[in-house]
A = this chain, B = another copy of it.
Amino acid sequence: MFTSQPIGFVISPYKIAGEVPKGLGAKHDADGVLKILPEFEPGLTDIEGFSHLVIIWEFDRSHGFDLLGTPPSDNRPHGVFATRSPRRPNPIGLTTVELLRHEGIELHVRGVDMLDGTPILDIKPYLSSIPSEKLRRGWLAEAEARPK
Minimum CB–CB distance for A144 against chain B, Å: 11
Taking a contact as CB atoms under 8 Å apart, the answer to whether A89 and B7 are in contact is yes
Taking a contact as CB atoms under 8 Å apart, the answer to whether B45 and A82 are in contact is yes
Taking a contact as CB atoms under 8 Å apart, the answer to whether B56 and A1 are in contact is no
A146 close to B (CB within 8 Å): no
Q: Could you pull out 30 A-B pairs where Cβ atoms are within 8 angstroms?
A: A1-B5, A2-B3, A2-B4, A2-B91, A7-B89, A7-B90, A42-B68, A43-B79, A44-B79, A44-B82, A46-B138, A49-B137, A50-B136, A50-B138, A51-B135, A51-B136, A56-B90, A56-B92, A56-B94, A81-B122, A81-B124, A83-B124, A89-B122, A90-B122, A126-B130, A126-B135, A129-B129, A129-B131, A129-B132, A129-B135
Minimum CB–CB distance for A124 against chain B, Å: 6
Quick one: closest B residue to A7, CB to CB? B89
